[in-house]
Amino acid sequence: MDHVRPQATVESALRDSDGGLSDAENAAKHGVAVKTIRRWRRVYQRQGRPRGQTHTAVACPRCDDASLDSEAYAELLGWYLGDGHISRGRGRVFNLHVVNDAKYVDDNARLADLMARVKPGGRPHSRSAPGCVITTASWIHWPCLFPQHGPGRKHDRPIILEDWQRTIVETHPGPFLRGLFHSDGSRVKNWARRPVAGEPKTYSYPRWQFVNASADIRELCCWALDLVDIPWRQSNVRVISVSRREAVARLDDLIGLKS
């Protein structure tokens, strides 16, 4: 698609749109019509087309045997199983959305990077909702890469990885765990009181917890922890805990802290 305006103008306008500038203010700043700003946002943000003078479809790793950044995919799979979902867009396009707490700025930026690595040439975008950030990328092939997509909530339907997905997770269990724990997990402090020399003393220690309503997804979390020899236990029906000091330290090193 050729642009009457210089590509630098398009890039600048889309950056301002990403930054929250209204369509009217953006149009006035760049000397274009409001409908032009809206068209650029539709083409590049919602439809996920790469910016430039021409657009080519991004090949699918499953349909077209295109290359796949398997490490990025393993982590994005964890995010999807935690707080992600896929919706139908216009035509044949699907939208992958991941919802995350707004206070984790680095994680939200990382999510956009992961989506761009899994779909080369794509342009993820984000929008704010109360207390959270929703990162989205559009592609006709998201259901190919996430065959767990289906109607209803994930905990109301079976979530089973295909063999090729299990192979990727077995190769990259750390990134997969990072996606799971950074989406549906938390690192908390536990407190305990013990008598020392006849006097009660309070101790605190960190613990990682993964909370998910889906038994299948909890099982995948436990399987991945077993792959890296990190002991875990089920605290209650929805919670998987990593509590031993050496296990917490190992998981810290493997997935990093949420930020």
- Letter string b/e over residues 121-138, b meaning 16 or more CB atoms within 10 A of that residue's CB: ebbbbbeeeeeebbbbbb
CB < 8 Å & 24+ apart, contacts of 86-94 = 86/142, 86/143, 86/146, 86/149, 89/46, 89/47, 89/138, 90/47, 92/140, 93/47, 93/48, 93/138, 93/139, 93/140, 94/138, 94/139, 94/140, 94/141, 94/142, 94/143, 94/149
Q: What is the pLDDT of residue 54?
A: 38
**Spatial distance between the Cα atoms of 183 and 107, rounded to a whole number of angstroms:** 9
Q: What is the pLDDT of residue 67?
A: 94
For residue 173, report the phi and psi dihedrals to the nearest 5 degrees.
-65, -30
Write the CA distances from 62 to 35, 65, 161, 239, 259, integer angstroms.
37, 5, 15, 33, 33
Task: Name the amino acid, one letter, at 220.
Answer: L
Task: Name the amino acid, one letter, at 48.
Answer: G
How confident is the model over 121-146, as pLDDT tens digits?
Answer: 888 999 999 999 999 999 999 999 99
Residue 46 three-state SS: helix
Number of residues assigned to the chain: 259
Residue 202 three-state SS: strand
Q: Under a CB-based contact definition with an 8 Å cutoff, are residues 233 and 244 in contact?
A: no
Q: What is the pLDDT of residue 55?
A: 37
Please choose, from the candidates 126, 91, 139, 89, the residue with its C-alpha nearest in 3D space to the C-alpha of residue 14. Answer: 126
Q: What is the pLDDT of residue 56?
A: 41
> Do 70-156 and 179-255 fold alike per CATH?
yes
Q: What is the pLDDT of residue 212?
A: 97
Q: What is the pLDDT of residue 48?
A: 64
Q: Under a CB-based contact definition with an 8 Å cutoff, are residues 37 and 26 in contact?
A: yes
Residue ranges in the chain modelled with pLDDT below 70: 1-5, 47-56
HSE of 229, CA atoms in CB hemisphere, 13 A: 1
N-terminal to C-terminal alpha carbon distance within the chain:
39
Which residues make Cβ contacts (< 8 Å) with residue 7, sequence separation at least 6? 51, 52, 53
The CATH homologous superfamily to which domain 70-156 belongs is Homing endonucleases (3.10.28.10)
**Spatial distance between the Cα atoms of 86 and 170, rounded to a whole number of angstroms:** 24
Question: Domain 179-255 classified CATH 3.10.28.10?
Answer: yes
Q: What is this structure's pTM?
A: 0.77
Return the ∠ at Cα 59 (arms to 56 and 63), rounded to 5°: 145
Name the residue ranges covered by the structural domains of the chain.
7-46, 70-156, 179-255
Q: What is the pLDDT of residue 4?
A: 53
**Spatial distance between the Cα atoms of 6 and 15, rounded to a whole number of angstroms:** 15
